[in-house]
Structure 1
Amino acid sequence: MKILGIQLSKPSFNEVTASAVMAAGLWLACMALLRVSEQPLDRIEAGGALLVIFWGCVGVRMGIRIDHGVRHLAVNLLCGGVILALYHAIVSLIA
């Protein structure tokens, strides 16, 4: 499958699992850093941050690397924006 001319690869189960563990660790580090700096996020913002961090980790496994040019950066930002828009739409329907 291609998006904007970028050939995507299908990550294996182990790669997705490793990405999920990495995303959880990065999210915890960010939340701890924000709490120590006395600027903690509320629950909805923290959930959005977790989704974006998870997308960043899985996106690299799919072959979307922001250091490989503008197209990769555009796809990463587009997918992250769509994920956040869906998340906020669902949260606004529930709340």
Structure 2
Amino acid sequence: MKIIGIPLRKPSVNEVTAAAVLASGLWLACVALALRLGSPLERDDAGAALLVIFWGCVCVRLGIRVDQGARHMALNLGCCALLVGIYQGAISLLG
């Protein structure tokens, strides 16, 4: 499958699990850094950060690498914007 000329690959379950573990660790480091700097994240912002960090870890497993050019970067940013938009929409609908 290709999206805007970028061939995608299907990651294995182990790759997705490794990406999830990496994303969890990076998110904890992000939250700890925000607390250490004196500006803790709100609950909605922490959730959005987790979503974007998880996507960043998974997109590499899918074959989307931001160091490979503008198309990869555009696809990554577009997917991040879409995910955060859906997340914010769900937050506003649910309360």
The two structures have a TM-score, normalised by structure 2, of 0.99
2: CA distance between counterparts of 1:27 and 1:35?
12
Partner of 1:24: 24
Query: 2:71 is matched by which residue type in structure 1?
Result: R
Query: 1:61 is matched by which residue type in structure 2?
Result: R
Partner of 2:65: 65
Partner of 2:48: 48
Unaligned runs of 5+ in 2: none
1:88 is aligned to 2:74: no
SS at match of 1:9: coil
Unaligned runs of 5+ in 1: none
- For residue 92 of structure 1, report the CA deviation from its aligned partner: 0.4
Query: Runs ≥4 in structure 1, deviation > 2 angstroms?
Result: none
SS at match of 1:57: helix
- For residue 75 of structure 1, report the CA deviation from its aligned partner: 0.2
1:14 is aligned to 2:7: no
2: CA distance between counterparts of 1:78 and 1:2?
15
Query: 2:22 is matched by which residue type in structure 1?
Result: M
1:4-47 Cα deviation digits (max 9, x unpaired):
10000010000000000000000000000010000111000000
Calculate the aligned-residue CA RMSD, in Å: 0.4
Partner of 2:37: 37
The two structures have a TM-score, normalised by structure 1, of 0.99
Seq. identity, % = 59
